[in-house]
Every structure is written in structure tokens, then in C-alpha cells.
Amino acid sequence: MADQYAQTRGDNRPAGIPVIRWEEPPEGPVVVLLDQTRLPAEEMELVCTDAPALVEAIRALAVRGAPLLGIAGAYGVALAAARGFDVDDAATALAGARPTAVNLSVGVRRAQSAHQAALAKTGDSRQAASAALAAARQLHQEDARASDRMAEHGLALLDELQSGGGHRILTHCNTGSLVSGGEGTAFAVALAAHRAGRLRRLWVDETRPLFQGARLTAYEAARNDLPYTLLTDNAAGSLFAAGEVDAVLIGADRIAADGSVANKVGSYPLAVLARYHHVPFIVVAPVTTVDLGTPDAASIEVEQRPGYEVTDIVAPQVPVMGGGGGIPVAPLGTPAYNPAFDVTPPELVTAIVTEEGTVSPVTAKGLAELCSRSRQPTVD
Ligand SMILES: CSC[C@@H](O)[C@@H](O)C(=O)COP(=O)(O)O
């Protein structure tokens, strides 16, 4: 149960509580998360008082989505430092909590480097802890700004690919403000299209096994009054065949140097469908998701998750934390294949949209150039 690894507090909270924040009550600093496992049924907060609690929350998907994992990882390092724990141990545990989303280790490293540099310079652990927190806050703010720019670039691309009539966008998993310091990645583009009066329909894949589409994207779409429709993942083919999709927009957990895109399992089949039906397949992600140190698809570690997520229906009303199952669907003991992500090869990706611009066609050279344009991270 949630309460075993972090304190759960509050219900009936007003809509729009932040997905993550740092608080300093008299008992000591904490990282407060919106518990995404409980959405949309209830908006509850998880209060993490140390890095192991945050590691558990990351594993349980209480906090999730590539950009937010980076921010959470950075705050986790700051928390360990502020509470006097071993920062390097905490950094190792946090970075290893989920292997595929590269943003997690990027965020952890960023706060850890700030901590190390300040400690080397001042020899003062309090100043080093402040530096780690400043790095986490800066990453949080940068992510919000990156969201805005991705939305602009993404909408410009949609308008260029299809003029008139409004956009009918199919999306997978959840890529909105629940995964970001801002309005997200792919979802932010759909939101920008909606605000510009050019979103005709957002098709939302339910995203089995954990229903990030049905639970989280539908929740965000409803809260923003988007014209949206939910479908089962396996209904996407007939939607394409009916000519109802103008573009697929997804996020990414890691983009390899050759342009291979790891994202929520089910993204690759959409890319295949999109190519067959001559529909653009667009990936929206911050530059921090591009990992030039990972050469290709074969080098991406894909997280394997417990079989019960497939054999059972795991819903927010069902206590999943601590390793329990949900509502059993398959016979007891049925073996399950449950990769959390799949990898789409670059030749199926029409464009990669980042805050620094768009790469299309997707080539290693184009991605490397775009990354070199990106401002090197600095720590205040
Ligand atoms: C901008 S979010 C991109 C991805 O992180 C998102 O599509 C996704 O796959 C999230 O997976 P999750 O397992 O819910 O963390």
C-alpha cells in the first residue's frame, strides 16, 4: 500500500495540485508528489521524506513519464543531501529505479554534479545541499519552458503537414502536464492546436496494461475541454483504415543517436500502421531525452514489468503498490510478457520535435546537430 513507503495525505483536494514540489515543514524537507496511481479516481499526495521513498514511488509509477522522472530524480538527490544521507548512494538508487527513461539519470546526475562541485568548492555540506536543490529547481523550470517551445514547434509542423480542416491526432500513453514541469510533450502540441482552434479530435489510446491513456490522458483532456475520444489500443487499425487520423503524436523515453525511439509499449505498432496508411508519425521530446551515448535500438534497455499487470486489470482503485495484483483476468499462474516500452526505428518516424527545433527526416547527423545547439546545462 502507498502508506508503507510514503505518507499519503489529503483527499478532496482542489484540481490542479502540482505533480511534484519541494516543501520544507519544521520536521525537515520533503518531496511531495501527486500520486498518479490513484488518478482519475482521487487526487492524493505522497509525501516522500527520503530517497528510498521516492525510489519506491518511481517504481510504482506514482511519479512517471520521462521529463518528470528527471525532475523527480534531481529532487531526490537534493532530498538525500538536505537530510544528511549519502548522496552518491541515493543517486545510484534513484537512477536505477527505472532503466529506460534516460531523463531519470540525466536529472539525478545534474543534481549530483551540482552537489559535488559545491562540496569541493566550499567543503560545506549545507551549501552543497542547497546547490543540489538549486539544480533540481532549475531543471524543473527549464522543463516548463521546453514544453512551451515543443508545443510551438509541434503545432507549426502539424500545420505544415496538413492545412485546413483541423487536426485529428492519435496519441498513446500520457504526455501532458502530469509528466512535466510544464504542459508536457506530445499532449502540449495537441493542447496548442486546441487553443488555436485547430484540434478536430484527440484520439486517446487506452494504453494497456496500466491504462495511462484511459486514466491520465483522458483526465487531462477532459480538464482542458479537448474534443477527445478513448479507444482500445487494438482499435487503432480500424481508425486508420477509416481515414480518421491525420497524425500520430507520441513522447519518448529515450532517443538513441541513430534516431531509434523508445516509448510506451504499443508505440511501434502505431508507427507501422501510420506508415502503411501514409500518416505522419511524430515524436515530441525534450533534448534531454536524446541520448547520444546510446548508439541504436539494440543498446536501449527496455524495462520489463511484473506479469500481474497483464494477467490482471490493475486499476487505481486496486492497491497495486507493494507488489500486489489487481483484478485477475487470466487463469492463475499464466505467464505474461510485459515490456514497458518498445522501440520504433528511425525510418518509421516522420519527425522528432524538440524545444530546439525539429529533425525531419530523422538522421543521426540531424539529431547530433540539434543536440549541439542545445544550451549546456548550467547550475545557478
Ligand atoms: C513525455 S512522456 C514520454 C514517455 O515518458 C511516455 O510516453 C511514457 O511512455 C511513459 O511511460 P510510463 O511507464 O508511464 O512512465
Q: Which atom of ligand 1 is nearest to the CA of 66?
A: 5
220 CB less than 6 Å from ligand 1? no
How far apart CA 106 and CA 371 sit, in angstroms, is 14
* Residue type present at position 248: V
Distance 308 CA to ligand 1 centre (A): 20
38 is in an annotated binding site: no
CA distance 59 to 31: 16
Residue 265 beta carbon below 6 angstroms from any ligand 1 atom: no
Does residue 203 register a pLDDT over 70? yes
Q: Is the pLDDT of residue 74 over 70?
A: yes
pLDDT number for residue 90: 98
- Ligand 1: which of 100, 173, 314 to mutate, most ligand atoms within 8 Å of CB? 173
Task: Give the whole-angstrom CA distance, residue 168 versus residue 62.
Answer: 30
Give yes or no: 253 in active site.
Answer: yes
- pLDDT, position 5: 42
- Is position 65 annotated in a ligand binding site? yes
Query: Would you tell me the crossing angle of helices 125-161 and 186-195 to the nearest 10 degrees?
Result: 60
What is the per-residue pLDDT across 220-260, written as a single tens digit (0 to 9) for each?
999 999 999 999 999 999 999 999 999 999 999 999 999 99
> Cβ neighbours of residue 139 under 8 Å, at least 6 residues apart?
70, 71, 74, 107, 110, 111, 181, 377
Q: Is 309 a pocket residue for ligand 1 (Cβ < 6 Å)?
A: no
**224 marked as binding residue:** no
Among residues 253, 291, 312, 342, the one annotated as catalytic is 253
Does the beta carbon of 212 sit less than 6 angstroms from any atom of ligand 1? yes
Strand bridging mode 327-328 / 312-313:
antiparallel
Q: What is the pTM of this model?
A: 0.93
Ligand 1 neighbourhood includes 171 CB (under 6 angstroms): no
Q: How many angstroms separate the alpha carbon of residue 21 from the centre of ligand 1?
A: 20
pLDDT digits (tens, 9 = 90+) for 91-126: 999 999 999 999 999 999 999 999 999 999 999 999
User: Measured at the alpha carbon of residue 314, what is the angle toward residues 99 and 263, in degrees to the nearest 5?
Assistant: 35
| 73 in a known ligand binding site | no
Place 210 in a pLDDT band, splitting at 50, 70 and 90. Answer: very high
Whether 254 and 262 have beta carbons less than 8 Å apart is answered as yes
66 C-alpha to ligand 1 centroid (Å): 6
Query: Is any atom of ligand 1 closer than 6 Å to the C-beta of 267?
Result: no
Q: Which region holds residue 32: left if phi is over 0, alpha if psi is between -120 and 50, else beta? A: beta
Q: Who contacts 240 (Cβ-Cβ below 8 Å, separation ≥6)? A: 273, 274, 276, 277, 279
Q: How confident is the model at residue 373, as a pLDDT?
A: 85
Q: How far is CA 78 from CA 35, 129, 178, 283, 325, in A?
A: 20, 6, 21, 31, 33
Residue 200 in marked binding region? no
| Cα-Cα end-to-end distance for the chain | 38
Per-residue confidence band for 379, with pLDDT thresholds at 50, 70 and 90: very low
Give the pLDDT confidence of 326-351 residue by residue, as tens digits: 788 899 899 999 999 999 999 999 99
Per-residue pLDDT, 8: 52
* Residue partners of 63: CB distance under 8 A and separation at least 6: 19, 20, 33, 36, 46, 54, 57, 69, 72
Lowest mean pLDDT among 36-45, 153-162, 273-282: 36-45
Buried b (16+ CB within 10 A) or exposed e, 210-230: bbbbbbbbbbbbeebebebeb
- Residue to mutate (ligand 1; options 19, 104, 175; most atoms within 8 A of CB): 175
Question: Residue 375: what pLDDT?
Answer: 54
Q: Is 280 in the pocket of ligand 1 (CB under 6 A)?
A: no
CA–centroid distance, 134 to ligand 1, in Å, is 25
Q: What is the ipTM of this complex?
A: 0.98
Whether residue 282 is predicted with pLDDT greater than 70 in this model: the reply is yes
